Structure formats: structure tokens, C-alpha cells
Amino acid sequence: MTALVASRDGYGEGLMQLADDERVVVLEADLGKSTKSCRFREMYPERTFSLGISEQNMMLVAAGLASSGYKPFASTFAIFTERGFEQVRNGIARPNHAVHLCGSHGGLHTGTDGSSAQSIEDLAIYRTLPNMTVMHPCDDISTERLTVLLSALSGPSYMRTARNKRPRIHDDESVAALRIGKGHVLREGIDVALLACGVLVGEAMTAAEELSRDGIEVTVVDMHTIKPLDSALVQRLAADCGALVTAEDHSIIGGLGGAVAELLAANCPVPLERVGVNDTFGESGDGDELLEKYGLNSDYIIAAARRAIARKA
């Protein structure tokens, strides 16, 4: 039985793994219990700065710490990081301060809190900022590993995590192979490539198994890094498979699908189908119900894969 895990727990564990580095500091805006930075806070209160419900303030406090040689890891809900977007733009990305921002509870899958809490645009907006690395890992242990790797980054980053538990994708061996900026191939097939991030990596794996039963062999990639996009891998898969599908719990505008579309259009046009939120806001509901209603689960990925294959010249 595959373990059910939430990627936000990996962030909390990643911070614990980093704690021996005394330059690592943690910032919170009243949601540490939810983003899981609370674990670090309990063990290292002197290196944790709780700033109350003030996201804009938190962004610049983090920048000030980074400018003084510290490695700030700041978290809140994905949607509330957006309240400080201009602060991230002007106060963090522009001066290239290595502040690591984690937005938890991203996407429709966040569920019953409803549309005000379901960021479906975070990956898109942070991707537009120069200097920013943008990531969205798919499970707890990959999030933990990538959080640890972030501490060596010399520029700022945004990482989205998810609230709810899903089957774990990675194992110790695959996690050890993860690199920021490199997609991780989970299975290989020649007919079409599925590029997914976050909770939709699991949906893509389910889709791949079902397609295989019909004789369609697909590649599945955990595209945990949206920026810098692993353009070499995407172009190789475009050449090898001749058709691509992106899948993300995010708007089809500007996120993983947008990034891949830009790359393909400029370099190697092949059929691309984007599975994502179709330019609409969500609503309250169970996470899986929302994936079904808004066209994001494995059934929709299967249909998209068949469309992409049919469009091959």
C-alpha cells in the first residue's frame, strides 16, 4: 500500500534537515502550523521570526535577513504570498536576495476552504520575475529533498506545496537523484509524454497505467521545477514522443503548461494539450471532487493524451 502523504509535511521536515546550518532562519505569518514550519519553530525559537498576519512585512524582513548573510525560509499560504507580490518583486527578486518562499495549500485540491484559499495563479506570476526559481514538488520526500537543496541556491525561490494527502510518488533512490531545474522521469514510453507537477503527478501516473493497458506507452515526468524549465528534457521528449501533455492544479495560463507552450512554439512545435484550471475560480468541495469537476484528474489526462496523439502529423 502506497503511503498517503502531504507535500507540506516535506517542507517542515526539510527545514529540520537544514537546522544544523545556523544561517538558516524561518519566518512565519501566523500559519506555521499549516505550512509546517512550526516544527522548526518549536526546536529553534531563537531562529524563528513570527510576524503575525503581515505578509508584506514578512517579505522585506526576510530580505533584510538575507542581505545580512542569513538564509531565510518564509512561508504562508500560496494565496497569501500573493498579497506581498510587489514586495517579492521589488524587495526580493530585484536585488536578488536568496529568500526562499514557500506557499502551502496551493491549487483547487486545497478543498473545502473554497476559492479564496485556492491559488491557481502563483506559479504563473512568480515565473515572470527575473532571478526567481519556481517549484512545485509532488510529495513529502521530494519536497523535503528540494527544500534542502534550496539552501545552496544563490537567488530567491518560490515553492508551492499542497495541503492534502496523496499517494507518495518517490522513493529514497529517486529522491536522491532530484536536482533543482531538472525534470525527473518516472516512467518512459514513446507515444506521448505527460509533464506534471504537484498532486497531478499522481494523476498522470494513474493515467499512464490505464493508457498502457490500451497499448499506449507514455513517459511521465515529475516537473517539480517550473523555472528554470528543463528545456533540454522537454525538447528531447518532443522529439522522441512527438506530442506532450502538461498537467497541473493551476491555471492553464502561465504555469507549467504556459512555460512548455512557450518553449515548444519557439523551438520545436509539436502537439501540446494542457490539463489545468480553465481560466475560472474554484469553490468549496473535497479535493478529489474538485479535480473531477474542474477537469484535472486522470480521466482528463487520458483524454488529453489521446487528443495529443491524434494530432501527431
Residues that bind other proteins (CB under 8 A): 25, 46-47, 49, 51-52, 54, 56-70, 72, 86-87, 90-91, 94-96
- Those residues whose C-beta lies under 8 Å from the C-beta of residue 17, and which sit 6 or more positions away, are 144, 147, 148
Closest CB to other proteins among residues 130, 215: 130
CA 223-87-20 angle, 5° bins: 60
Closest CB to other proteins among residues 95, 269: 95
The helix (run of H) or strand (run of E) holding residue 95 is none
- The catalytic residue among 13, 28, 55, 273 is 55
Closest CB to other proteins among residues 28, 203: 28
Q: How far is the CB of 89 from other proteins (least distance, A)?
A: 9
DSSP bridge partners of 100: 73, 157
Q: How far is the CB of 44 from other proteins (least distance, A)?
A: 11
Q: How far is the CB of 279 from other proteins (least distance, A)?
A: 29
Residue 262 among the catalytic residues:
no
Q: How far is the CB of 39 from other proteins (least distance, A)?
A: 20
Closest CB to other proteins among residues 66, 186: 66
Closest CB to other proteins among residues 100, 160: 100
Q: How far is the CB of 154 from other proteins (least distance, A)?
A: 14
Q: How far is the CB of 88 from other proteins (least distance, A)?
A: 11
The helix (run of H) or strand (run of E) holding residue 57 is helix 55-67
Q: Do residues 280 and 155 touch, judged by C-beta distance below 8 A?
A: no
Task: For cell 509539436, name the residue.
Answer: 270
Closest CB to other proteins among residues 156, 183: 156
Task: For cell 515529475, name the residue.
Answer: 222
| Alpha carbon distance, N-terminus to C-terminus of the chain | 41
- Cell numbers given for 243: 506530442
C-alpha of 169 from chain center:
14
Give 217-246 as a DSSP string: -EEEEE--EEES--HHHHHHHHHHHS-EEE
CA 212 vs CA 27, 194, 216, 297, 305: distances in Å: 45, 13, 5, 17, 12
DSSP E strands, 97-188:
100-104, 133-135, 157-160, 166-167, 184-187
Residues with active-site annotation = 55
